[in-house]
Amino acid sequence: MAEGKKSIVVYADWINIFSGLNDDEAGRLIKHFFQYVNDQNPEPPDRLTKLLFEPIKQTLKRDLIKYEGKKAQNAANARKRWEDKNAIASDGMQMDAKHADSDSDSDSDSDSDINKDTLLCETSEVKISIDYQFIIDNYHSLCPNLRKVVALNGKRKGYVNARVGEFGMEKVIQVLRMAGGSEWLNGKNDRGWKADFEWIMRPENFLKILEGKYQNNKIKLAV
């Protein structure tokens, strides 16, 4: 963390990461989390911890960029106020309302510039490391009745990259679990049709599964 920073933001939706873990797995993940935010540079104890901590780490990095940007902006504003105060004292003049409005506008413009720089930094900072084998192993485990994946070509990797980038690793695993539990996607439909890995990872199908449209208690959709 940044020097002097004693607090962090914890997001309520991180419960989605922890909810599928047993107590030992959750304990390792939270222990790794606190070691990381206290700058102990920990190594993940196992592959599951590494993969699940990745989206948390990227969020922490983005928050740190925002914090550093805001701190720099506050320092610049304080320095400007100090300089303005000394200039007024030396000139023996009072700032009129128009001048004050001008200062306010200047501060607002500066905040806007900082935000733009922050967005650029966030974009360049975020790097997603994807363990394709981990995803395939989960697909085979969670969807045992669906066609096995023999290889990942560029097209399939592209689908995986896009889904992890859009929703995060935990949502990808959640969708695989939901697909594996759907009778409709496992062949209990009027054609005996079954989904496969590539079909699940396509954007429109992935979103339908995530929204629960193929759950067993829902109206069956035409494929």
Tell me the per-residue pLDDT of 174-220, one tens digit each, with 9 for 90 and over: 999 999 999 999 999 999 999 999 999 999 999 999 999 999 876 54
User: How confident is the model over 16-67, as pLDDT tens digits?
Assistant: 888 888 999 999 999 999 998 888 889 999 999 998 888 898 888 887 777 7
In a domain? residue 6: no
For residues 198 and 156, give the distance between their C-alpha atoms in angstroms, rounded to a whole number.
6
Report if residue 221 sits inside a domain. no
Distance between CA 187 and CA 223 in Å, rounded?
A: 11
On whether both 81 and 163 belong to a single domain, the answer is: no
Q: Kindly state whether residues 136 and 88 are assigned to the same domain.
A: no
Same domain? For 95 and 143 the reply is no
Is residue 169 in some structural domain? yes
The answer to whether residue 1 is domain-embedded is no
Note whether residue 2 is domain-resident: no
CA separation for the pair 131, 54 (Å, rounded): 11
Of residues 101 and 166, which shows the higher confidence score?
166
Please report the pLDDT score of residue 182 as a whole number: 95
Residues 109 and 148 in one domain: no
On whether both 111 and 27 belong to a single domain, the answer is yes
* Domain that includes residue 157, residue range: 132-210
With respect to residue 184, please indicate whether it lies within any of the assigned structural domains.
yes
